[in-house]
Amino acid sequence: MRLSVNGASYDVTAPAHETLLETLRERLQLTGTKLVCGRGECGACTVLSDGTSVYACLTLTAACDGREITTIEGIRTTGALHPMQAAFIQHDALQCGFCTPGQILAAIALLKEIPNPTEDDVRRGMSGNLCRCGAYPKIIRAVMAAAQAGSAPDA
Amino acid sequence: MPKRFVTTKVEIEGREETKIVELPARNPEPWGEDAELHVVGQRIDRMDALEKVTGEARYTADVHLPGMLFAAILRAPVPRGRVTTLDLAAALTLDGVRGGITVADVPDVKIDGVRLLDQTIYYANQPIAAICADSLETAQRALEAITLEVEREPHAITAEQALALNAPAVRKSGNTHKASPRQSSRGDVDAGLADADVVITREYRTPTALHTALEPHGAVAEWTGGRLTIYESTQGIFMTRREVANAFGLPLTDVRVIKNYMGGGFGAKNGAPHSTYIAATLARITGRPVSCILDRDGEQTDAGNRCATIQRVTIGAKRDGTLTAISVDVTISLGIGGWLSSPAKIYHELYRCPNVRSAETFVYTNTGAMASFRAPGHVEGSFGLERAMDTLAHELDLDPLELRRRNYAERDQDKDRDYSDKRLDDCYTFGAERFGWTQARARTRNADGRLRRGIGMSSIVWSAGGGPPAYATVRINRDGTIEVLSGAQDLGTGARTVLAQIAAEVLGAKIDNVRTVLGDTERLPFASNSWGSITTASVGPAVRVAAEEARESLFDAAAQLLDTEPSDLESRDSEIHSKSNDKCMLFSEVCGKLGDVMISGHGSRGPNPERTAISAFGAQFAEVEVDVETGRVRVIRIVSVHDSGRIINPTLAESQLEGGIIQGLGYALFEERVMDDRLGISLNPTMHDYKIPTIGDVPRIDAFFVDGSDTVANHVGAKGLAEPPIIGVAGAIANAVADALGADVREIPLTPWRVRAL
């Protein structure tokens, strides 16, 4: 099958049970997407499938034919961070950083769905992404700030 | 002149050690509270944030070496018994399987008292054998082809079971640690209780809590020319090196341990675990690099935990609230092994009381071993002590905060010595003000509605002075950029950033020109484990000394080039100028002229002050809302005020506070390992069933520091702050729930069914 990841096309022959997480990490060496629970409980492997957030550990690679997958490695445009990445740095919305790729992709998907979220929207929208260091207060700030910057008239 | 060595005391997580330590070459004047600092104290962005937000940071599980194999671990299906048949032959013939090991193949090391891959089974999920293969999936499938037969024997998974008459022998040496009961006392408790106007007696219980770091324990091992390189998710590269070198009979020069990024530790990653020895053994046998990363089940069952405790407390006080006696007997479930963290210690030191006694019984059970977990001992003990204090306040009809103020410990009573500095009273004052404590207390409680609100508070004390040995090197490159080198670890705490700030401050350098390199035993000078909240207070002063030495050389060189005296020079923003400002040169110009003549400095951490306790302090305030129908507790807000000495980077420090508070909230409300009594296995070894806080559980958190610099502690003025914020969170929340319901809370976590039963 052809697997499209971050705008590049890959010829992948994956067994039917192979997850997108395995394909990304082991075949494509895109290790920014993390394995934590492997069963859809923590959100660390969150990637975008046609712009919608999915858990890569619960997504079969075979089911991604014809879809555009975006990982943390794919949101940065040449020379510039994605605004959400910049907001995470600016607001210190990370500590150990292991959940961070998943958090950022979940946040991007959330803002696509709700461009001007309330804090409650952020809490609901991000509640599938666990952070053991407890960066949550600053994740909320970063997402809110990114949303405000994104909706500013000159943006 | 020969260097002088002196003895000094260093306290790590309640354990005090005597060290013989060399006096540093220089001993700078401490940065006092009013010191004029330009980089230290600034909100500098976290230095490793860029690689973390881009996914480029390579964690241990992301290391992929050419030809690397993947290991999987076969674990014991029963909590106690022995292996009767173990045959790897069928597994080893499978396609893609490259090696397998049992106890016969591994070094004779004990982990928490259990021999690596032992065939006597002491707890469920104990490692029995391991396989490595071309892919992780192949290795995992191969485990199923191993023939394993075990004979099950009776087990004990709780302290009560292990202490019962006719209990099975959990360990050959007995079911309690030989130090049990560990006793400690001062004054005369019986006389104190006789003198009391009010005496309360309670039994409190705390759960087994799991660290649940998102990145599990794991290692990648590779042998080259008889030397072993290990990439490890560890809080202690040098400790790991020492343990691995001992196990394999290697000189320290032949083992290199690298930790660049790690996905959380929280105390559980302090030496070489099973996975390290397994990876190294399989790599040696196969001649290929081997990655051995625990799966989530392994991480949640065999990678450490916070001990469950039962605390039987008696406290006496005079009518005015003055404490007269504290007595506590604690039963601690260690699991199969671990060390003796002390839940009783906080009873001895937090509040002033002349008569205190404790006895701690450390019990072995057929479950995974404990490991340090953020402020081990204090977090457990604090819950019981703070509940007892609130119960006493209720009996005496006193404001709980006032009761604590009336029993303010001016000195370290436990060891009869002064504190280097203590600003807990400021924490009370500012915290109560920010929280609106007095107004909130005056509000009438809704005793009938479905949603009931309550408030509670607690206090924090934690030994956080750090100490030697710790070393750092600072070197300045020909382009004027600066490297800070130290064998410490950044767990996500911000150590990289904080150490760079200290170096930039001393050198008068732009922070953007400074880079900190940590986590490599082969290339970096020694620093100890990143545990016990010690890194900033230990390595920080060493970095300062190293930077002072480098600055002296830099100024000497610049003085030559500028035709002036070094004493006439100052630096700021990577520019050196004379005091009259008529001469100036950029660092890059000075160093460019020197070319490859390197300017560097070496620094070490000096001894701690004698007979002085160095502790961090703080106060926690919580407001909760309890739904009496569902039993659900919602924490509405937390105000948390800390005395941690000088704060090097307020943003990163506040992140640490918030993180500790949120972990404390999980401990108070949800987190407990649940075991099946009959089978002796964990019922919730997943992240769904072992619930840690989500973003939806997080209350409004107002966490901040009181101003100060602890100039007695060390010349940077900083104390540790990673562990203190988790202390007292459970007590404050439990006190708030008790206040909301007018009920006594004696056990955490406050899950809905426990709250409903109140």
Q: Is residue B401 part of a domain?
A: no
**The predicted structure's pLDDT at residue A153:** 54
Chain A contact present for B655, CB below 8 A? yes
**The predicted structure's pLDDT at residue B358:** 98
- Cβ atoms of B261 and B57 closer than 8 Å: yes
Cβ-defined contact of A138 to B658 (cutoff 8 Å): yes
Of B11-15, B54-58, B76-80, the least confident: B11-15
Give per-residue pLDDT as tens, B242-279. 999 999 999 999 999 999 999 999 999 999 999 999 99
User: CA torsion, points A34, A35, A36, A39, in degrees to nearest 10?
Assistant: 130
- Cβ atoms < 10 Å from Cβ of B148: 17
SS3 A118: coil
Residue B363 shares a structural domain with residue B470 = no
Distance (Å) from the alpha carbon of B680 to chain A's nearest alpha carbon: 23
pLDDT band at B581 (very low <50, low <70, confident <90, very high): confident
Give per-residue pLDDT as tens, B478-490. 999 999 999 999 9
Cβ-defined contact of A71 to B55 (cutoff 8 Å): yes
pLDDT reading at B2 higher than 70: no
Residue B578 shares a structural domain with residue B557 = yes
CA B753 to chain centroid, in Å, comes to 30
Give per-residue pLDDT as tens, B73-130. 999 999 999 999 999 999 999 999 999 999 999 999 999 999 999 999 999 999 999 9
Which residues on A lie below 8 Å from B655 (Cβ)? 92, 95, 133, 135, 138
Distances (CA, A) of B347 to B329, B342, B419, B517, B640: 11, 10, 17, 40, 21
Catalytic annotation on B13? no
Distances (CA, A) of B619 to B446, B639, B643, B655: 26, 8, 9, 17
Structure tokens at B648: 């090097």
Chain A contact present for B698, CB below 8 A? yes
Chain A contact present for B262, CB below 8 A? yes
Candidates B299, B549, B671, B723; catalytic one: B723
**Cα distance between residue B738 and residue B239, in whole Å:** 44
Q: Which of A90, A100, A135 sits opposite B659 (nearest CB)?
A: A135
Domains of chain A by range and CATH?
2-74 (3.10.20.30), 83-151 (1.10.150.120)
Most A CBs within 10 A among B54, B291, B663, hence the mutation to make, goes to B54
Residue B193 shares a structural domain with residue B275 = no
Q: What is the ipTM of this complex?
A: 0.97
Position A19, amino acid: T
**Cα distance between residue B394 and residue B178, in whole Å:** 39
Position B52, amino acid: K
SS3 B737: helix
Cβ-defined contact of A134 to B662 (cutoff 8 Å): yes
Distance (Å) from the alpha carbon of B743 to chain A's nearest alpha carbon: 30
Distance (Å) from the alpha carbon of B336 to chain A's nearest alpha carbon: 25
Distances (CA, A) of B725 to A99, B325, B383: 22, 27, 14
Largest CA distance in chain A: 48
Helix (H), strand (E) counts: chain B: 19, 32
Q: Is residue B391 part of a domain?
A: no
Chain A contact present for B263, CB below 8 A? yes
Residue B271 shares a structural domain with residue B217 = yes
Last residue of a domain, one of B278, B301, B324: B301
Cβ-defined contact of A97 to B492 (cutoff 8 Å): yes
Chain A contact present for B453, CB below 8 A? no
Cβ-defined contact of B58 to A31 (cutoff 8 Å): yes
Residue B228 shares a structural domain with residue B82 = yes
Residue B348 shares a structural domain with residue B297 = no
Residue B113 shares a structural domain with residue B205 = no
Which residues on B lie below 8 Å from A30 (Cβ)? 55
Q: Is residue B385 part of a domain?
A: no
Computed over every residue of chain A, the mean pLDDT equals 95
Residue B473 shares a structural domain with residue B545 = yes
Whether the link from the prior residue into B181 is cis, omega within 30° of 0, is yes
Chain A contact present for B480, CB below 8 A? no
Most B CBs within 10 A among A96, A110, A131, A144, hence the mutation to make, goes to A96
Q: Is residue B723 part of a domain?
A: yes
Residue B93 shares a structural domain with residue B218 = yes
Distances (CA, A) of B50 to A44, A97, B214, B504: 18, 10, 19, 20
SS3 B661: helix
- Which residue in this structure is represented by tokens 């950044």? B490
**Cα distance between residue B729 and residue B664, in whole Å:** 5
Interface of B with A in 13-52 (CB under 8 A): 45-46, 48-52
Give per-residue pLDDT as tens, B510-566. 999 999 999 999 999 999 999 999 999 999 999 999 999 999 999 999 999 999 999
Q: Is residue B271 part of a domain?
A: yes
Last residue of a domain, one of B604, B625, B651: B604
pLDDT reading at A155 higher than 60: no
Structure tokens at B385: 């002590």
Structure tokens at B122: 């002491």
pLDDT band at A128 (very low <50, low <70, confident <90, very high): very high
Annotate B116-173 with three-state secondary structure: CCCCEECCCCCEEEEEEECCHHHHHHHHHCCEEEEEECCCCCCHHHHHCCCCCCCCCC
Number of domains into which chain B is organized: 4
Q: Is residue B621 part of a domain?
A: yes
Most A CBs within 10 A among B53, B212, B657, B726, hence the mutation to make, goes to B53
Domain range holding B560?
5-57+466-604
Q: Which of A32, A90, A96 sits opposite B263 (nearest CB)?
A: A96
Residue range B452-474: average pLDDT?
Answer: 97
Q: Is residue B395 part of a domain?
A: no
pLDDT band at B447 (very low <50, low <70, confident <90, very high): confident
In B394-540, DSSP assigns E strands to 418-419, 451-463, 471-476, 482-485, 514-517
Q: Which of A37, A85, A96 sits opposite B53 (nearest CB)?
A: A85
Residue B125 shares a structural domain with residue B67 = yes
Instruction: Say what percent of chain B tops pLDDT 90.
Output: 96
Give per-residue pLDDT as tens, B671-698. 999 999 999 999 999 999 999 999 999 9
Cβ-defined contact of B50 to A89 (cutoff 8 Å): yes
Cβ-defined contact of A134 to B64 (cutoff 8 Å): no
Last residue of a domain, one of B239, B273, B301: B301
- Domain CATH number, residue B27: 3.30.365.10
**The predicted structure's pLDDT at residue A150:** 83
Residue B591 shares a structural domain with residue B622 = no
Q: Is residue B703 part of a domain?
A: yes
Q: Which of A42, A72, A101 sits opposite B687 (nearest CB)?
A: A42
Cβ-defined contact of A130 to B694 (cutoff 8 Å): yes
Residue B11 shares a structural domain with residue B139 = no
Cβ-defined contact of B46 to A123 (cutoff 8 Å): no
